Amino acid sequence: MEILFCSPPSLDCHNHLYKQRSFQRLPLPSAYRGQYRAASSKVHATQEKEVRAMVRKGSTSVGGEGFPRSVEVVEGDVTDYDSCRKACAGIDKIVYAVRAKTTLAVDLRNVEENGARTMALAFQDAKNRDHRKNNSIAPTAKRVLAHFERSIYEPFRDDWQLGKVDGVEVQDRTGSRFRRTGTQPTEASASVQDSFLVFEGTFTGVKGIAEVEAPIRMPPGESLGDMDGLMLRLAADGRPYSIYLRTAEGVEYAARFITKTGFGSYRLPFQKFRPKDSRQPPLVDPSKVVKIGIRCQRPSAEQQAIVQPVAFKMKLYFIKAFPAPVKQSDFIMISCAGAAKLRKSNSMEEAVQARILAAKQKGEATVRNCGLAYTIIRPGPLVEEPGGYRGLVFDQGNRITQTISYADVADVCLKALHNPEAINKTFEVSYEQTAAQGQQMYELVAHVPSKSNNYLGLALATLEKNT
């Protein structure tokens, strides 16, 4: 197994880990209000892993300075697809721990958001290419359910048509464009334009609903039963939409999501779909799904006495099904505490911090929507002290305020690579704190310095998944 470690340029003061032979860890620079640090890699003799560190072009660590000899150091840029693809060759997992050179918005966006997207894409492409050479499908490969790129996915362009408009089934079809008006004053149309399915219309009545749908197409011998959820890439208007799945028996399950204005990616695990009829099983069985659709409905908040026409428009680029995780995370991201919730800034320093946290937040969303099995770790303020001697708190909800050492974050990261409880979870971690009487907020999870100690699985077992 090979692990790619994406490193920032500053790699000083990291001997504190790999000098402790009982705590040889994966290289992991951590970041929060200061410099990033790098820890040592797990040596071949202990876990039989190979580690490749990708450092920024022009860094003093390109020659391997600061890394154990067992670590292969390569030069690259997380915003450059070609260098990311080269670094990902033969890689099984990625640890993404980076920082921008400055706190300018453009640098933060390039590194935190675009960099994470580029690295995830390069990693998936490299995995798919390796498996195609062996005439197999990569475990991380997604299945295309809808794609409107003319030159590649022509069959999908003719599948999609209007379903129901205000409860009335639309039957007729002319070429690739559909336009009908329901019994209530709702107008909707669906047409393939360029590389998009354009689903648009206007609600002119008190209530309104419109749907566009298509049958499920899967390769022979495959079904959605092998998948874990759906990924959508689209441009929308900021309105809420629902995606629904219908079985051969006519049972419908739907998941609602709120779009943002412009292009965005949306990840919807099957466990978030709920039945239209409460008498049906609470969770959808993906293997029985035969039809997929998108629904837009006028929100009740807009159903006022004086009805104003409300327009909606969505440009759908693709829908893909992503596979169930294969027991371990593929992509580990080191973020920072505070990225879950942004507060109003009242000073220059707070404004800079808010800008950094906003970039971290967007980077996290990029990783969640990439389709890989992920773990996002948000450490508290980092300190330089030995690890493995203090209890740790694992939490969700942006309540972490205590510090944590670089060494302990490195250990959490290493264990997250191989622990199934860490799959598709985002969590904060810091040292324990002593709460005032009657104000205990955390379930503390202590651990001692032991290689066999599986404290992480116990700590994460109660935390929410798909966060």
**Where residue 49 sits, what CATH number does that domain have?**
3.40.50.720
Domain with 257 in it? 143-323
The pLDDT confidence band at residue 7, using thresholds 50, 70 and 90, is low
**What pLDDT was estimated at residue 377?**
93
Is it the case that residue 464 has pLDDT exceeding 90? Answer: no
Is it the case that residue 246 has pLDDT exceeding 90? Answer: yes
Asked whether residue 240 falls in the same domain as residue 330, the answer is no
Structural domain includes residue 466: no
Structural domain includes residue 154: yes
What number is the average pLDDT over the span 296-318? 78
By mean pLDDT, which of 33-42, 78-87, 256-265, 364-373 is the weakest? Answer: 33-42
Tell the residue number behind the tokens 């689903």, with chain if given. Answer: 199
Asked whether residue 201 falls in the same domain as residue 350, the answer is no
Asked whether residue 125 falls in the same domain as residue 147, the answer is no
Structural domain includes residue 465: no
Last residue of a domain, one of 291, 323, 355: 323
The answer to whether the beta carbons of residues 38 and 97 sit under 8 Å apart is no
Is it the case that residue 262 has pLDDT exceeding 70? Answer: yes
Closest CA to 73 of 13, 5, 119: 5
What number is the average pLDDT over the span 76-81? 88
Task: Tell me the pLDDT tens digit for each residue of 45-61.
Answer: 334 467 888 888 766 55
- The residue type of 66 is G
Asked whether residue 288 falls in the same domain as residue 338, the answer is no
Q: What does 244-261 look like in DSSP terms, one character per residue?
A: EEEETT--EEEEEEE--E
The answer to whether the beta carbons of residues 147 and 318 sit under 8 Å apart is yes
Is it the case that residue 235 has pLDDT exceeding 90? Answer: yes
What number is the average pLDDT over the span 14-22? 32
Greater model confidence, 387 or 252: 252
Structural domain includes residue 367: yes
Structural domain includes residue 384: yes
The answer to whether the beta carbons of residues 55 and 7 sit under 8 Å apart is yes
Please list the residues that pair with 428 across neighbouring strands: 378, 395
Structural domain includes residue 270: yes
The pLDDT confidence band at residue 458, using thresholds 50, 70 and 90, is confident
**What pLDDT was estimated at residue 314?**
94
The pLDDT confidence band at residue 273, using thresholds 50, 70 and 90, is very high
What number is the average pLDDT over the span 324-337? 85
Asked whether residue 128 falls in the same domain as residue 210, the answer is no
Asked whether residue 65 falls in the same domain as residue 132, the answer is yes
Asked whether residue 420 falls in the same domain as residue 316, the answer is no
What number is the average pLDDT over the span 445-450? 48
The answer to whether the beta carbons of residues 343 and 354 sit under 8 Å apart is yes
Structural domain includes residue 467: no
Greater model confidence, 300 or 259: 259
3 state DSSP class of 209: strand
Output the six-digit token pair for 69.
């000899």
Which DSSP letter does residue 109 get?
I
The answer to whether the beta carbons of residues 456 and 388 sit under 8 Å apart is no
3 state DSSP class of 212: strand
Is it the case that residue 172 has pLDDT exceeding 80? Answer: no
By mean pLDDT, which of 29-33, 226-230, 351-355 is the weakest? Answer: 29-33
The pLDDT confidence band at residue 16, using thresholds 50, 70 and 90, is very low
Asked whether residue 170 falls in the same domain as residue 280, the answer is yes
Closest CA to 281 of 247, 305, 258, 312: 247
Is it the case that residue 189 has pLDDT exceeding 60? Answer: yes
Structural domain includes residue 425: yes
Strands of 288-341 (E only): list them. Answer: 289-297, 310-323, 331-334
For the chain, percent of residues with pLDDT exceeding 90: 20
**What pLDDT was estimated at residue 29?**
34
**What pLDDT was estimated at residue 184?**
53
In terms of DSSP bridges, do strands 425-431 and 240-247 run parallel, antiparallel, or are they unpaired? unpaired
Asked whether residue 419 falls in the same domain as residue 441, the answer is yes
Asked whether residue 211 falls in the same domain as residue 277, the answer is yes
By mean pLDDT, which of 24-38, 207-221, 371-385 is the weakest? Answer: 24-38
Q: What is the pLDDT of the chain when averaged over all its residues?
A: 77
Asked whether residue 151 falls in the same domain as residue 279, the answer is yes
Number of domains the chain contains: 2
Last residue of a domain, one of 290, 323, 356: 323
Distances (CA, A) of 66 to 42, 45, 395, 405, 410: 15, 20, 32, 19, 16
By mean pLDDT, which of 189-193, 246-250, 337-341, 425-429 is the weakest? Answer: 337-341
Sign, CA torsion 23/24/26/32: positive
Task: Tell me the pLDDT tens digit for each residue of 384-424.
Answer: 888 777 888 888 888 878 889 888 888 898 888 888 899 99
Asked whether residue 265 falls in the same domain as residue 238, the answer is yes
What number is the average pLDDT over the span 118-129? 89
In terms of DSSP bridges, do strands 161-165 and 168-169 run parallel, antiparallel, or are they unpaired? antiparallel
Range list of H helices, 113-270: 115-133, 154-157
Distances (CA, A) of 78 to 96, 204, 239, 416: 10, 48, 33, 22
Is it the case that residue 232 has pLDDT exceeding 60? Answer: yes
CATH number of the CATH domain containing 276:
2.60.120.260
Reduced to 3 DSSP states, what percent helix, strand and coil does the chain have, rounded to the nearest 5?
20, 30, 45
How many degrees, rounded to 5, is the angle at CA 370 between CA 365 and CA 373? Answer: 100
pTM exceeding 0.95: no
**What pLDDT was estimated at residue 418?**
86
Last residue of a domain, one of 265, 299, 323: 323
Which DSSP letter does residue 58 get?
T
Is it the case that residue 444 has pLDDT exceeding 80? Answer: no
What number is the average pLDDT over the span 168-188? 56
3 state DSSP class of 56: strand
For the chain, percent of residues with pLDDT exceeding 70: 75
How far is the C-alpha of 268 from the C-alpha of 276, rounded, in Å? Answer: 17
**What pLDDT was estimated at residue 118?**
92
The pLDDT confidence band at residue 142, using thresholds 50, 70 and 90, is confident
